[in-house]
Each structure stands twice: as structure tokens, then as C-alpha cells.
Structure 1
């Protein structure tokens, strides 16, 4: 996830109570963020005669056969591009094809971007049927060797790592709900069922002008989660939205990343709040938004998530309530830095943002809260506040609201 993207739904590790405890089934903290990656072959001695390498046209012909095989579920055609003298690599390719055959691709296409000796650098573009409106574009690598006067694939890229994706797990599968696709391992049906029920809740606030569908990824373990997250430390993260930029520089497709360790520890309320929060980010196109103030991005998502739960503010914002009870009111609305992973008052930043948006919705109406969000993505925060609410600063009213709700 980019630094400027909306933050993950996190449960900061500390000894206090609050939103974290409210959403967890027990006192154990959720950890991990979805990620998927695969093993690679070690660099190996190149086959005799491979140094010169194949031509681009020869590699493209093999890739065309592979692409057609994936879309037509033709294992024989796919494996016909793999050298029979490389049993380890061939076994991994068989696992790869099996994994790919379980996923609903509307499009899958590999192209050559560069050939250096036996190593081909590829661009892989794919779309999930019924969900992706644009391509997801990744960089991958394959090695080639001679076979009967031609060329076949003989290995991975060695020390060149493919961009991580769900099919790197041979046990991957996909579950389609009414409004969602969930890819990965584990309780996919549970996630799909909950997402389907979240879509109407999000639409009730943001309107019907969004796709009203989403793709969620749930890996089998934390290591795969960390791989997809680019190797970042991910303790305390329950879920996160992402739209990773494509390898060709275009915008990627929205995904909801679900923690494989956190999901089983969430209670029913936690699952509802977490997925509604992340789905709101998808509906608002928040991933990669570096203009809208973060208190609006995160506070609005929490407003939608908690809207119909009946949860009292003092219960969902326990950490902030404890501070207010001690007379420790925040000096201003949380900044973007306050939402950074590992920030000392991360939980309170979410709570402050949520209550700011809850106050706006209560006093001005949800329609104006939604308009404020959109205007703040096009102009300065001060200008947006003046245009939509007729004020230039919410600090005073918001601090008074905190005293009323939490004092």
C-alpha cells in the first residue's frame, strides 16, 4: 500500500481497551495483512547452447499458447511449453496451472518486454470476470532452453522475483458471492457472505454510483500476507484496501486485503465493521487518494461502518474517552501522520476522525458529509468546509462534541 493511501483497519497493541476489544472475539490482537507470494527456484547452471537466447517472436509464440491454455483450461497445451528435462520446474508449473484453473479469469495475457540471453522479462495482464474493469499488470520472469531445435521454458527467473499474486499458493481457490469475489485460502465463504451484506450498507450512504462489487483476498498465512504487502511489518493490521499501481504505470484494480490471522479472532461486530469500513474505501476510490484529508477518509469509512450498529461512542472510542475523562482533549483534528502504521495514538486518531464525521452527519446531514468528502478531494480543506458547511474550522465544535459524547 502506498504511504498516501488510506490506512489499514488496525488494532494497535497496547494494554488498554476500546475499539480493538470491541471488535475482537477475545483479548488476543489481530495480526497480519493479506499477502501472497511463491517460492522460486535457485539460480542454476544454464543448459548447453542457451547463452545466445531465443528471439522475441519465439518467446511470444510460447506465451500465446500459455495464455490460451489458461483461458481454455487446457493443461496439456500449457505444459507443452515446459521442457520435460526440468522435472522440478515442470512440477511447479503443473501446480501453477492447477491454481490458475480455479480462478475466474476474463482475460490473461503474457507479453515479452525484454530477452537477455535465456531470461525473458514478461508483462502479465489479467482481469477477473465480472469484477475488474481494467487490467492488473505484473512483471514476471521465465528462463528458456533449447529443445528439438526450438525453445521451451526451463525455469523461473532465479533471483528475479515475480510480483506476488494469489495463484502463487497452489491451494488457492475462489468463492463468488452476490456482490463479491474472494480469492485465497481459509474461510472464503464467511468473508463473501459478510461482504455481500456490507454492500447495501455502503450504498445507503454513498449512493449507487459505484460498482457495488469488490474483490477480497485472504491468504493462507502471514508470510504470504507480508509478501503481497511488499515485506512491510504488519502486526496489528486487520484489513486494508489497496490498488497497487500496475507495472506499466497505470492504476491497478481495487482489492480488500483481509488478515488471515485477524479474521478468526474478530467477533460478528468486528467482521461487519472491518469489511464495511474497507468496502467504503473501495466505493469512494480512496486507495491512492493523497488529496482528501485523512481524517475525512478514515472517519467517513468508520461512520459508514458503525452507522447502524447501535454502538455507543464511549464503547467504540474507549481510549479517546479515557483521555477526555482526564481532561486531555486533542488540540486539532488528526493529521495524515497520525494514521501512519506504528503512530503512538493510532487508535485515538481513528476515533477522533470517526467522531468528527459523526458530528457532521448529525448536525448537517449525511448528504453534506458526503459532499464535504468529495469537495475536500478537489480543493483545500478550508475551502471545502466553507463551501459545504459554511464554516472554515471544525476544531471548536468538534472538541465540544467530544466532551458531550465522551466526557
Structure 2
């Protein structure tokens, strides 16, 4: 199922075996989606609002979509409904644009949505040998219509179930949905890893949150890219993507989308770091806004992921160490532009490493509670105000302390 706007993603940089360094880079949003399905009709006549044909098509869609398809019975779905926005008729075929609404039971605080195109034919229905067809309206004004296809609306990424069979694994704190080809054993292993990530995120973020996570595991890298509506090359070598909306208020649960190829390259420790980092983004969603600096949101997620790991700065921040030793001490904390994907990989690594080291410094110098307080305040107030209220300092002083920390770690 397509989870919504992409918020962040994790490239993998191979540094010290057996653990790969995991980075999380925000995307501006989803790009061009999937191409129209083969049955899509552009420019066909719209049925007049309130016409007999439109009413008949709407009745057929309503009857057909009264409950999730039986093939999705293993997925905990509720609130399943199709809201038709327009109907187009082309002879014996009709195309209804609709918004699918549903919730993952126990996970979504608000309905998730997906734009769909439902295709229908007039007259007798198919022979029932397969496909999503069914629910013909009775004859009479407007004719008898039968649903013969349901697909993403043109320009809209698919749902996970559009790609084939969906497997389900449940943990104490996690729901894992796997794409076609993912084995039950693989999904169960990720559920167990997510079950460890949730308490770790809660320990770092002692504020109320759902305390559970949804993980999608597409069947392939290509399937992952299709779900997110982006080119395959953007995800090659990545470990995972976090999706969702920031800010308070009811919303569908964030989805952590795993790249089965990149994730499979990680050690057990690396997988735990990546899921804890991503789960921390889920935990802090309500406190994260456009005001939150990326060095703080990404640094905090890495701080949560590395807590208690015993990883030294030299082990976890090798790119920063190389830069400092050659005299390239950063003049300021990483700006938001430093996290843009597609640029210099070494510079990107330094942005993440420097952010982690800044959050680690704050926790050491001012305390874990002060770091959490800073995160909360930085989502509501200008950063100078948040720093003064949470730490009793300003940005120049914090920057100097961070630079001194870098000198001390990488002499």
C-alpha cells in the first residue's frame, strides 16, 4: 500500500565491517507516478452529473467495494471504502475515479488514502475465472455495470497489494507487510527486529506516542521504487525509507519501507540501527515540524539508534574524522541543504555524522532530558529561543562546543 509523502530515507555507506553506517535523507516529495493503466481513457465523455448511467456506475462501485477483497483478508483493514469523484463513459466501458480510504487496525489514527481508477463494463459480467470483477448493477435505467479492473489512478503509485500477494507478520510492537516473494521467515525476522527498535526509540523519546510501527517490505528494489513513485536508481544501495506527515494531529501511521536489497546487505547490528533510527522518526513525528532543523531531527534519530552500542566517534563517524584530521573543521552545524540526496557522498556522510555528534554532545553536557526538550521546543519556536530555553545557551556557543568536541575526538 502506498504510504503517503516520503519523509526520509537511509543510504548505506560501507565503513567498518560488520556494521554499515546508515543515513537518512529527506525527500522533497513524490515525483512522477506510475503511467496510466492500459484501460485508462483520456478525453472520454464524462457521464452527466446525476444521469442514469452515472448513478448506475456509482451503485456498482459501491456494491463491489463494500468490503476489502478476500485476497487481503490477512491484512488488518478497517474503514474500507471507495469515494467516487467522477465517472467517464466510453461506449460499453466506464471509468470511475475514486479515493480509497482504509485504516490498518490498531495502527492508523486516521484513514490512509489512495487515488484509484475503477473500470467497468456494461452488460453481462465476466465468467468469474479471476481478477477483481464483480457486483453488477441490475438492469434498468443506466444499464447493468460490472467492475472488471481496479488500479492506481494515472500518476499515482500502486498499493503493495497491486504488486501481488501480501504476507503479514505481527510482533508485539510491529506490523510487517511483505510484498510478493517475501518469505514468512524473512517477515518474522523483521518483525522481531522492529520489536526491539520500538522500546529503544521509546527510551530515547520518553514522550507519549503510539509505541508501534508499520514496516513494508516490497518484493524487490523495483517494487519499492514503484511504491514510492520514484526512479529505481534513487533507492539502489539504500536500506530503508520513512514516510508520513510531520506535526501533531491524527494521521495514518508512518510506514517504514525496507529496501530488500540494501537491508539484506546489513549485519544484524546494522539492521537494528536502521530500524531504531527509522522508528525514532515515527516516535517523534508529532513534535517534528518544518521549524525543526535537520541536524537535530537526523542527529537525534542516530543518537537514539547508537545509544548503548558502544560505538566510538572514530568507528561511527569516519568521514568527519578524516576531514578534521586534514584541518577541515566545519565552521557551522550542518544546514538543511547539506542533507540533499544525490550530491557528494562524503559530504553527506559528514552532515549525518556531525549531527549525531552534536546531539551526543548535548546529551552528555546538558543531559538526555535537555536534548529531548530542545527537540520539542525547536519544532515550535525559532532555534535561538529553543536553545536558550532548553540549554541556556546560543547557537554560536553550541557550535564552538561542538567544534571542540570534534577536535578532541579526532586528534
Q: Which runs of 5+ in 2 are unaligned?
A: 125-138
Counterpart among 41, 55, 58 of residue 60 in structure 1: 58
CA distance in 1, matches of 2:172, 2:12: 29
Matched, 1:177 2:177: no
The answer on 1:396 being equivalent to 2:372 is no
CA distance in 1, matches of 2:389, 2:47: 66
> Is 2:42 the partner of 1:70?
no
TM-superposed CA distance for 1:18, in Å, is: 3.0
Secondary structure of 2:65 counterpart: helix
How far has the Cα of 1:126 moved from its partner?
0.7
Give 1:135 deviation, angstroms: 0.4
Aligned counterpart, 1:84: none
Say whether 1:135 aligns with 2:111.
yes
Structure 1 residue 288, shift from structure 2 partner: 7.5
Per-residue displacement from partner, 1:153-193 (whole Å, max 9, x unpaired)?
Answer: 23456983554211112222111111110112322111110
Larger RCO (CA under 8 A, 6+ residues apart): 1
TM-fit CA distance, 1:23: 2.6
Alignment match, 2:352? 350
CA RMSD of aligned residues (A): 3.3
Q: Report the secondary structure of 2:253's partner residue.
A: coil
CA shift in 2, pair 1:288/1:390, >3 Å: closer
Q: Deviations over 1:115-147 (max 9, x none)?
A: 122211011001111111110011000122211
Task: Provide the TM-score with structure 1 as the length reference.
Answer: 0.80
The one-character-per-residue Cα deviations of 1:87-117 (angstroms, maximum 9, x if unpaired) are xxxxxxxxxxx2x233111221112111122
Q: Aligned-pair distance for 1:296?
A: 0.3
1:6-405 equivalent positions in 2, closer than 5 A: 6-12=7-13, 18=15, 23-24=19-20, 41-43=37-39, 55-70=53-68, 73=70, 98=71, 100-117=72-89, 118-148=94-124, 149=139, 150-156=144-150, 160-185=154-179, 186=182, 187-232=186-231, 233-243=234-244, 252-285=252-285, 289-344=289-344, 345-393=347-395, 394-405=398-409
1:291-330 Cα deviation digits (max 9, x unpaired) = 1000000000000000011111110111111111222111
Cα deviation code 1:220-246 (max 9, x no counterpart): 11111111222242233211210169x
Distance 2:149 2:68 in 1: 19
* Preserved contact between residue 179 and residue 214 of structure 1 (Cα < 8 Å): yes
Structure 1 SS opposite 2:66 = helix
Paired residues in the alignment total 362
Structure 1 unpaired stretches of 5+: 74-97
- Paired with 2:341 and 2:237, the residues of 1 have a C-alpha distance of 9
Is the contact made by 1:63 and 1:111 (CA closer than 8 Å) also made in structure 2? Answer: no
More strand per residue: 1 or 2? 2
Distance 2:118 2:59 in 1: 14
